[in-house]
């Protein structure tokens, strides 16, 4: 057991190292130079002034040392939580911008993913043995999951926001309010949160339900289910086994979803102008703010790795077949 997790941890550490290195390399190969950009923004006329500003920003961004030194400094900064300065919201540090945006993204995505997963699995397993439900309700979700998400989100915003006027569209909370623990602010926040949540929930629910339905049907036709049936076991026991076994791939699916959660649902946040991490990604790209982009990507990498590791642990707990492989060198 210890060796198994040791080996896993080593693989994760290696993955992290490679991912961080690539993350550092990509902006440096991208066209556009942040120093020129900041200088141009200042609108200096005299060559001396431009030269002075260039020098100032080069040292601020750490470009005045050799490349290998920059790479080491990047790691040093990373380990002390210093991700550099944002250009988009200059001179705020990247880490504080990300930290400010994270609660909104998590508050939107975690409930959407967990609730749709829970409800979708329940509904899918139920639909697997109720023909009527399978033939009437599930097709609605075949359509919903096949619909381009962006179109569905816009449709929701238009129908429930603009036409029915039930929910405000745009922004995380009204521009006139400031974040605080007051009734007015919280209700405003929730009403802004609901539409993006609903759009995510609807689409994900259908995906989970369809997957679960297929898995349960497959499990109910498996040999162990037939054997239990031949020995007169009640349907309840057979379905319990089938459900438990059908959950295994769903757990993996959930882990993958939770892993990319920190990247935010970029499309959702853009459509609803919801200001979480996804919104930051767009803004960072628009203003070629590669420090911010780097910071967000780093966040995503860590999120994916942590989620995968958790799922490795969960799998060992729920599926004995993974345990069998632990002793060997595989």
DSSP type of residue 261: G
Number of residues in contact with other proteins under rule CB under 8 A = 23
Q: Are 152 and 243 in contact (CB under 8 A)?
A: no
Residue from 223, 286, 328, 330 touching other proteins (CB under 8 A): that is: 223
CA distances from 226 to 220, 233, 242 (A): 8, 10, 11
Q: Are 87 and 34 in contact (CB under 8 A)?
A: yes
Cβ closest to other proteins, residue 28 vs residue 130: 130
Tell whether residue 324 is a contact of other proteins (CB under 8 A): yes
Q: Are 132 and 306 in contact (CB under 8 A)?
A: no
Give the range of 167-175, 177-185, 210-218, 226-234 binding other proteins by CB under 8 A.
Answer: 226-234
Residue from 77, 93, 107, 229 touching other proteins (CB under 8 A): that is: 229
| Residue window 180-219: x/- pattern of binding to other proteins, with contact defined by CB under 8 A | ----------------------------------------
Residue from 132, 164, 230, 330 touching other proteins (CB under 8 A): that is: 230
Cβ closest to other proteins, residue 145 vs residue 245: 245
Least gap, CB of 281 to other proteins (angstroms): 40
d(CA 106, CA 103): 5
Residue from 222, 249, 313, 327 touching other proteins (CB under 8 A): that is: 222
Tell whether residue 320 is a contact of other proteins (CB under 8 A): yes
Q: Give the CB-side neighbour count of residue 322, counting CA atoms within 13 A.
A: 13
- Tokens standing for 200? 């995510």
DSSP type of residue 161: I
The alpha carbon of residue 258 and the mean position of all alpha carbons in its chain are separated, in whole angstroms, by 6
| Closest C-alpha to 281, from 113, 101, 152 | 101
Close Cβ partners of 92 (under 8 Å, ≥ 6 residues apart): 85, 86
Tell whether residue 286 is a contact of other proteins (CB under 8 A): no
Residue from 321, 328, 329, 330 touching other proteins (CB under 8 A): that is: 321
Residue from 42, 237, 310, 313 touching other proteins (CB under 8 A): that is: 237
In this structure, the number of other CB atoms found within 10 A of the CB of residue 151 comes to: 10
Least gap, CB of 245 to other proteins (angstroms): 6
Tell whether residue 241 is a contact of other proteins (CB under 8 A): yes
Least gap, CB of 242 to other proteins (angstroms): 9
Least gap, CB of 117 to other proteins (angstroms): 20
Q: Helices (H), strands (E): how many in the chain?
A: 15, 0
Tell whether residue 233 is a contact of other proteins (CB under 8 A): yes
Tell whether residue 2 is a contact of other proteins (CB under 8 A): no
Region of residue 182 (phi > 0: left; psi between -120 and 50: alpha; otherwise: beta): beta
Q: Which residues bind other proteins (CB under 8 A)?
A: 222-224, 226-234, 236-237, 241, 244-245, 248, 318-321, 324
């Amino acid at each position: 057991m210890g060796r198994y997790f040791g080996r896993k941890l080593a693989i994760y550490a290696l993955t992290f190292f490679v991912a961080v290195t690539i993350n550092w390399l990509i902006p440096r190969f991208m066209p556009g130079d942040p120093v020129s950009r900041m200088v141009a923004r200042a609108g200096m006329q005299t060559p001396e002034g431009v030269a002075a500003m260039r020098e100032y920003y080069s040292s601020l961004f750490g470009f005045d040392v050799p490349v290998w030194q920059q790479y080491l400094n990047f790691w040093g900064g990373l380990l002390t939580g210093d991700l550099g300065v944002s250009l988009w919201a200059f001179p705020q540090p990247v880490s504080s911008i990300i930290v400010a945006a994270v609660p909104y993204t998590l508050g939107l995505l975690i409930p959407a993913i967990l609730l749709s997963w829970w409800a979708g699995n329940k509904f899918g397993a139920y639909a697997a043995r109720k023909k009527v439900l399978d033939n009437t309700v599930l097709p609605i979700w075949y359509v919903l999951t096949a619909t381009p998400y962006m179109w569905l989100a816009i449709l929701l915003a238009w129908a429930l926001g603009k036409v029915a006027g039930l929910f405000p569209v745009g922004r995380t909370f009204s521009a006139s309010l400031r974040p605080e623990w007051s009734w007015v602010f919280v209700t405003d926040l929730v009403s802004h949160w609901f539409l993006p949540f609903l759009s995510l929930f609807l689409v994900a629910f259908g995906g989970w339900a369809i997957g679960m339905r297929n898995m349960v049907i497959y499990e109910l036709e498996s040999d162990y289910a037939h054997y239990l049936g031949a020995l007169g076991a009640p349907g309840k026991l057979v379905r319990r086994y089938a459900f438990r076994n059908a959950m295994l791939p769903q757990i993996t699916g959930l882990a993958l979803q939770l892993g990319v959660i920190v990247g935010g649902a970029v499309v959702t946040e853009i459509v609803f102008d919801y200001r979480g991490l996804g919104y930051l990604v767009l803004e960072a790209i628009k203003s070629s703010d590669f420090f911010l982009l780097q910071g967000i990507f780093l966040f995503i990498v860590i999120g994916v790795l942590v989620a995968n590791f958790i799922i490795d642990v969960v799998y060992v707990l729920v599926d004995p077949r993974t345990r069998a492989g632990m002793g060997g060198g595989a």
